Amino acid sequence: MKTKSTPINYVEFKTKNLEETKTFYSNCFGWVFTDYGPTYTAFSESGLEGGFETTEEDIVNGALIVLYHENLEIIKEKIIAAGGKISKAIFSFPGGSRFHFTDPSNNELAVWSDK
């Protein structure tokens, strides 16, 4: 199977209580966690890597699908040209950069790159 140029690479969830969430998923499914500060933890050993971000807001759509692309500027322009809207400008984080966008149905996704 040929690898796509922009695969689903990561899934991000919201949580109200990071420690409680880590305990739950570790005990139930054996997920392994790596903390990145007091409000974010990444998980592995789940079949697809992802993370949990602490929020004080109501959790309405708790999952953020994160795609990977080598060049954020190129894919951002393609998204805009196809009718998507940038909901969070490109920003840096440990390991790379990313931005968020909404599709024409207002689903929010993100694209990241380590380049």
How confident is residue 3, by pLDDT bands cut at 50, 70 and 90? low
Q: Which domains does the chain have, with CATH numbers?
A: 10-64 (3.10.180.10), 69-115 (3.10.180.10)
Interacting residues of 43 by C-beta distance below 8 A, sequence separation 6+: 25, 31, 32, 33, 34, 49, 50, 51, 52
pTM, entire model = 0.75
Indicate the pairing of strand 50-54 with strand 8-15: parallel
Q: How confident is the model over 52-73, as a mean pLDDT?
A: 90
Give the pLDDT confidence of 74-108 residue by residue, as tens digits: 999 999 999 999 999 999 998 999 999 998 878 89
Give the pLDDT confidence of 9-62 residue by residue, as tens digits: 899 999 999 999 999 999 988 999 999 999 999 999 988 999 999 999 888 778
